[in-house]
């Protein structure tokens, strides 16, 4: 190992430092003219889930494939448990890296029983002694060992894929959109199930997704990627509440946006003057507020007066679209629970002051 585990003593308080199980340093990969991954660095601790989140083609899967050992690195290094497993010259084969993988298509072997599928990943020397029954039990499939994949539901097959990936006790687990083929109810059930199982296994987990809700729900850390680069990495709520730029902010939800210029420390918007702290007078900026941070009140609420243009009741929340009285500006407000507002009704619009995000205009896409 080229890193060390140690405790730092701060006064009489011991602060444990955990060595990253996975360390990716400045990795890059190019395909002809396409720089698929550029200068990506990440660390993942044992038992921690890091999500790579980003739009199609941003380099998530290529990053995952480099960690797995099925894609070469052009630059940078990858360490697992302190050992160098890949750089631009050398690459340890996947089976020698202690990584488990679950991909979207699961890739269960149709002609093998469930027990055989799980045993397949275990090295021959250890296969006989492996307790497949116990592994099936662990994923809630006791008694399924003699069945074939086509006899199982989508969720059950997902559990088999997880069991197979975990069967070797990997130090790093790589999941590439593993839940995207499941229906919504099963997907959220499987996310919770997989999360418990993965935390119990103590592996460092890298999960690829383009679904911000999935990332928010499952991740300890999220790395938002765009065009091969990590735009921001951090705890989910930090990214949600303090995005470094408009592109990161827009990943998580629809935004109400207004462009304007800073005048005497404020920006004039249809919902009032918003404070632009830290911006010079005259700066062109974009102000953003998430719909769930908007409030709607009867017209004597004190805020700007707008007209309700649409109400969608989704049960646990209502999506209310409003527009300025001249119709020029539109706003979206997500209000918890049902609302009594009618289309064309005049209402007063407010917002949580600390939810206003202001970005310099060069960030706007």
Ligand X SMILES: Nc1ncnc2c1ncn2[C@@H]1O[C@H](COP(=O)(O)OP(=O)(O)OP(=O)(O)O)[C@@H](O)[C@H]1O
70 interacts with ligand X by CB under 6 A: no
Instruction: Give the H or E element holding residue 216.
Output: helix 212-218
159 interacts with ligand X by CB under 6 A: no
34 interacts with ligand X by CB under 6 A: yes
129 interacts with ligand X by CB under 6 A: no
d(CA 235, CA 158): 27
CB of 226 to ligand X, least distance (A): 9
Q: Which of 38, 40, 49, 59 binds ligand X (CB under 6 A)?
A: 59
31 interacts with ligand X by CB under 6 A: yes
d(CA 279, CA 300): 32
Contact between 105 and 152 (Cβ < 8 Å): no
Sign of CA dihedral 15, 19, 20, 21: negative
Neighbours of 207 (CB within 10 A): 28
Contact between 331 and 257 (Cβ < 8 Å): no
Backbone angles phi, psi at 136, to 5 degrees: -65, -40
CB of 51 to ligand X, least distance (A): 12
**31: alpha, beta or left? (left if phi > 0; alpha if psi -120 to 50):** beta
| Comparison of 58 and 288: residue with beta carbon closer to ligand X | 58
CB of 43 to ligand X, least distance (A): 20
72 interacts with ligand X by CB under 6 A: no
The residue among 260, 239, 256, 228 whose CA lies nearest residue 331 is 256
| Comparison of 167 and 174: residue with beta carbon closer to ligand X | 174
| Comparison of 144 and 252: residue with beta carbon closer to ligand X | 252
SS (H, E, C) 156-212: HHHHHHHHHHHCCCCCEEEEECCCCCCCHHHHHHHHHHHHHHHHHHCCEEEEEECCH
Q: How many residues belong to the site for ligand X (CB under 6 A)? A: 12
Stretch that binds ligand X, among 28-36, 38-46, 286-294, 334-342 (CB under 6 A): 28-36
The residue among 200, 201, 194 whose CA lies nearest residue 217 is 194
CB of 135 to ligand X, least distance (A): 29
CB of 259 to ligand X, least distance (A): 30
Q: Which of 56, 129, 134, 184 binds ligand X (CB under 6 A)?
A: 56
Q: Which of 22, 24, 27, 36 binds ligand X (CB under 6 A)?
A: 36
Q: What does the per-residue mask of binding to ligand X show for 196-235, with x meaning CB under 6 A?
A: --------------x-------------------------
CB of 36 to ligand X, least distance (A): 3
Q: Which of 23, 60, 138, 187 binds ligand X (CB under 6 A)?
A: 60
Binding site for ligand X (CB under 6 A): 31, 34, 36, 54, 56-62, 210
């Amino acid at each position: 190992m080229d890193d060390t585990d140690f405790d730092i003593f701060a006064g009489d308080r011991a602060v444990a430092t955990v060595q990253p199980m996975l360390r990716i340093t400045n990795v890059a990969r190019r395909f002809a003219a396409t720089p698929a991954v550029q200068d990506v660095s990440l660390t993942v601790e044992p038992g921690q889930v890091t999500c790579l989140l980003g739009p199609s083609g941003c380099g998530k899967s290529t990053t995952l494939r480099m960690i797995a050992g099925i894609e070469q690195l052009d630059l940078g290094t990858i360490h697992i448990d302190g050992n160098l497993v890949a750089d631009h010259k050398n690459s340890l084969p996947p089976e020698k890296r202690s990584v488990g993988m679950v991909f979207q298509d699961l890739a269960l072997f149709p002609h093998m029983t469930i027990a055989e599928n799980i045993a397949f990943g275990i090295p021959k020397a250890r296969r006989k002694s492996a307790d497949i029954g116990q592994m099936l039990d662990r994923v809630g499939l006791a008694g399924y060992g003699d069945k074939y994949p086509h006899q199982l539901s989508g969720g059950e097959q997902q559990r088999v894929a997880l069991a197979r990936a975990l069967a070797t006790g990997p130090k790093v687990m790589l999941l590439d959109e593993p839940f995207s083929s499941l229906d919504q109810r099963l997907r959220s059930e499987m996310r919770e199930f997989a999360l418990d199982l993965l935390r119990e296994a103590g592996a460092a987990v890298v999960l690829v997704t383009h679904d911000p809700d999935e990332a928010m729900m499952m991740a300890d850390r999220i790395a938002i990627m765009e065009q091969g680069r990590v735009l921001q990495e951090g705890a989910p709520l930090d990214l949600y509440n303090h995005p470094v730029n408009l592109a990161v902010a827009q990943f998580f939800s629809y935004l109400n946006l207004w462009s304007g210029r800073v005048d005497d420390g404020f920006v004039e918007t249809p919902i009032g003057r918003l404070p632009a702290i830290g911006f010079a007078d005259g700066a062109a900026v974009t102000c953003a507020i998430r719909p769930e941070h908007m409030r709607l009140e009867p017209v004597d609420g004190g805020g700007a007066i707008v007209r309700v243009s649409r109400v969608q009741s989704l049960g646990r929340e209502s999506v209310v679209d409003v527009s300025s009285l001249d119709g020029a500006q539109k706003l979206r407000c997500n209000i918890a629970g049902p609302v009594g507002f009618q289309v064309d009704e005049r209402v007063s619009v407010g917002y949580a002051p600390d939810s206003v995000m202001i970005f310099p205009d060069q960030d706007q896409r």
